Structure 1
Amino acid sequence: MGGDQQQARDTVIVGYTVYAPPGSVVLTTDRVRIRGETCEITGFPGDWGQSPFTGTRGPVQFAADRVTG
């Protein structure tokens, strides 16, 4: 059940949904800085693609988690 140092700790996971600028290259092995904290990418980034109405590209969406404890 963990060592002495882990027994008295609470694990807290903070999750973020990030919308990066169009064309951003985000890999599942990357880390990002959000609000001054280092977070890990979780899951595969999604590209919203191009709008059929305006032709503009949408954001790249991904999830990131910060784990403490």
Structure 2
Amino acid sequence: MISLPPPRFGETVTVLRPGPPVRDIYGNDAGGPDAEHPLPGCAIAPGPGGEIVGGQDTVTEHLTIYAPATVDVRPTDRLRIRGLTYTVHGPVEAYHSPLTGTTAGVQIIARRVTG
């Protein structure tokens, strides 16, 4: 299978992967520091959002990230996009061309909830 090179233009998304747990001063498991790595050459498109008003305003924002096929993103990762932190929402989906056999890239849905 042939993979295409990353696009020359695009944005860099930073992957924030949870580190291994560490023990806090009370002997409990606590989240370790995140490991970070960049994803260059991404295209970012706005997705559907939502707003719930019921005693509290809650806004849900979705972005669709189109990234090169060689990315290393897991459903448990978080993403830093344009200075804001999003969660990965669902699986990372790969696109394969039926005409050339190439892996054109992947689609990642990112979600951020505020309020």
TM-score by length of 2: 0.47
Q: CA deviation at 1:40?
A: 0.1
CA distance in 2, matches of 1:45, 1:14: 18
CA distance in 2, matches of 1:43, 1:27: 9
- Structure 1's consecutive aligned runs of 4 or more residues displaced over 3 angstroms after TM superposition are 52-56
Larger strand percent? 2
Structure 2 match to 1:64: 110
Q: CA deviation at 1:55?
A: 4.5
**3-state secondary structure, aligned to 1:11:** strand
* Structure 1 unmatched runs, 5+: 1-6
- 2:96 corresponds to 1:53: no
Question: Over the residues paired in the alignment, what is the CA RMSD in angstroms?
Answer: 1.9
* Structure 2 unmatched runs, 5+: 1-53
- 2:65 corresponds to 1:12: no
Bigger relative contact order, structure 1 or 2 (CA pairs below 8 A, ≥6 apart):
1
% identical aligned pairs: 47
TM-score by length of 1: 0.74
Larger helix percent? 1
Count of equivalent residues: 62
